[in-house]
């Protein structure tokens, strides 16, 4: 099989601020001293006019110190809240990093499986990518790109070897037939998550479909959303595209011979060569 270089995952870690800066601590200390000083100064002025100035001064100083202590307590509470928020953000980033590492590990393993020489291992890689896409919405576009890239690799159904052909011919034939099953599985995964009308709960929105030059003959893409897809030079002869959405799709050179295009939506599809068995009515293809 032709090898391909899959896209890298687009993972981004959230940013966090560091702990309390020394500027904040100095500013808090200045505020505490200033509040205490102003309170004591004002209370001493009031004490001078009291009947017992000496006792009033003592009370004023005590009260001023109490105000300073209270202000200190408020700042301590605010700093504790800030510290708690910092710890929570740090924990959130740690959780995100752990999830990111796990996603990367799963993705890397699945892609490695797709490059295996054994068909069952390649099947496992496809299903692993599908499971990852079901739980990680942000990675669906990358996963669809990988599946489309796999389907774009050169492939042709082999001819069955003649009776009496060497054993290696039969082995190669069996390998190619197994690869056909892998490709059908990739197609089914793509179809399963691109049918917004029949399977809305499984639909993967916001992904780009590029199946240019892919050999997709006889495959089943009924009701699949191919809007704005690149299907240029794709081989879709005999494929089931009934009720498919081809609006805005690039169909330059696409082979649609003997394909089922009943009720396919084709508004704004570019370079679409409508088969002679169909005609367009209100943006849909219907049999003549």
Q: Final residue of a domain: which of 60, 87, 113?
A: 113
Model confidence, pTM: 0.70
Six token digits for residue 49 = 């006019």
Q: Final residue of a domain: which of 86, 113, 140?
A: 113
User: Whole-angstrom Cα distance, residue 59 to residue 148?
Assistant: 82
pLDDT score at 51: 58
- Is 172 a member of any domain? yes
70 and 138 share one domain = no
Tell me the pLDDT tens digit for each residue of 14-51.
Answer: 555 555 555 655 565 566 566 556 655 665 566 555 55
151 and 277 share one domain = yes
Q: Final residue of a domain: which of 67, 94, 113?
A: 113
- State which residues form the domain around 55: 22-113
- Is 14 a member of any domain? no
User: Whole-angstrom Cα distance, residue 256 to residue 245?
Assistant: 15
61 and 195 share one domain = no
64 and 204 share one domain = no
- Is 5 a member of any domain? no
- Is 151 a member of any domain? yes
Can you tell me which residue has the tokens 């309390």? 20
pLDDT score at 157: 77
86 and 172 share one domain = no
Tell me the pLDDT tens digit for each residue of 80-102.
Answer: 877 787 778 877 777 767 778 88
> What is the percent of the chain with per-residue pLDDT over 70, rounded to a whole number?
74
Quote the number of domains for the chain: 2
Tell me the pLDDT tens digit for each residue of 156-215.
Answer: 877 888 888 888 878 888 889 999 999 999 999 999 999 998 889 999 999 999 999 999
């Amino acid at each position: 099989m032709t090898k391909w270089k899959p896209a890298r995952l687009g993972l981004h870690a959230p940013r966090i601020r560091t702990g309390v800066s020394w500027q904040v601590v100095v500013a808090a200390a200045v505020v505490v001293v200033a509040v205490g000083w102003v309170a004591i100064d004002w209370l001493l002025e009031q004490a001078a006019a009291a009947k017992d100035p000496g006792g009033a001064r003592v009370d004023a100083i005590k009260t001023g110190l109490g105000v300073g202590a209270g202000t200190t307590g408020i700042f301590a509470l605010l700093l504790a809240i800030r510290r708690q928020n910092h710890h929570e953000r740090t924990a959130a980033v740690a959780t995100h990093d752990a999830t990111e590492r796990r996603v990367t590990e799963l993705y890397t393993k699945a892609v490695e499986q797709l490059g295996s020489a054994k068909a069952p291992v390649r099947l496992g890689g496809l299903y692993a990518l599908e499971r990852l896409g079901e739980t990680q919405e942000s990675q669906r576009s990358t996963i669809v790109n990988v599946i489309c890239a796999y389907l774009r690799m050169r492939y042709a159904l082999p001819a069955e070897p003649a009776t009496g052909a060497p054993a290696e011919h039969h082995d190669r034939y069996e390998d190619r037939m197994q690869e056909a099953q892998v490709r059908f599985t990739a197609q089914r995964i793509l179809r399963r998550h691109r049918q917004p009308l029949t399977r809305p709960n499984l639909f993967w929105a916001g992904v780009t479909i590029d199946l240019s030059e892919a050999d997709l003959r006889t495959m089943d893409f009924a009701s699949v959303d191919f809007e704005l897809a690149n299907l240029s030079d794709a081989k879709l002869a005999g494929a089931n595209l009934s009720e498919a959405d081809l609006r805005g799709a690039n169909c330059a050179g696409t082979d649609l011979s003997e394909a089922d295009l009943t009720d396919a939506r084709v508004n704004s599809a570019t370079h679409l060569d409508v088969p002679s068995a169909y005609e367009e009515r209100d943006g849909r293809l219907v049999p003549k």
